Amino acid sequence: MERLTEHDIKIIRDEMRIGFIFSSLFLFADLLFNFVYYIEYGIDICLILVNIGILSLCILIPFFMNKNYRKDLDAGEKIVELGKIQIKECKKSYEAGSGNLYIPILGNLFPKLWGSQPRLSLLCYLVINNVRYKVDDDFYNKVNEEEIIKMYFTIHSHMMIGFEQNIHS
């Protein structure tokens, strides 16, 4: 086990953000419901009961969604596992919505209208212990197949938080 770095803490906090976003969606839906209900019927006991239920739900959603992430931050440690790279994969991916409809023949004739191609990006994966992990281009180019690397996981949520080359392999 090793201590969490500032970068690891930032990754965990970024994962915690979705609980608050999900809760705020319920809260805004409740505000919309309150507005419509108030215009139609005024203040009623039904409105108050629904608000109590929705507000308690908005408090409990991030609490339960982020429970393991908070435990990870409180523990302050991460698990180190060694893994052997079985396969390196690199796939082409085109960014959705980045280009117009591309038609090769019309694109050559009218490049401003149909000639914009979508942006190309490379998705690099390492297959380690029969599990595919997405990695950045730099780390993908540093390692080779059949090489043993360090993989870092959080203790309670078992989330992958990073890779490192094993110097002693």
What is the arithmetic mean of pLDDT over 25-41? 90
Where are the chain's structural domains? 2-75, 77-165
Q: Please say whether the beta carbons of 140 and 124 come within 8 A.
A: yes
What is the arithmetic mean of pLDDT over 9-13? 94
What is the arithmetic mean of pLDDT over 92-110? 71
Architecture of domain 77-165: Beta Barrel (2.40)
Q: Please say whether the beta carbons of 82 and 50 come within 8 A.
A: no
**Residues 118-162: tens digit of each pLDDT:** 788 899 999 999 999 999 999 999 999 999 999 999 999 999 999
The pLDDT assigned to 127 comes to 95
What is the arithmetic mean of pLDDT over 17-27? 93
Q: Cα separation of 61 and 56, whole Å?
A: 9
113, pLDDT greater than 70 = no
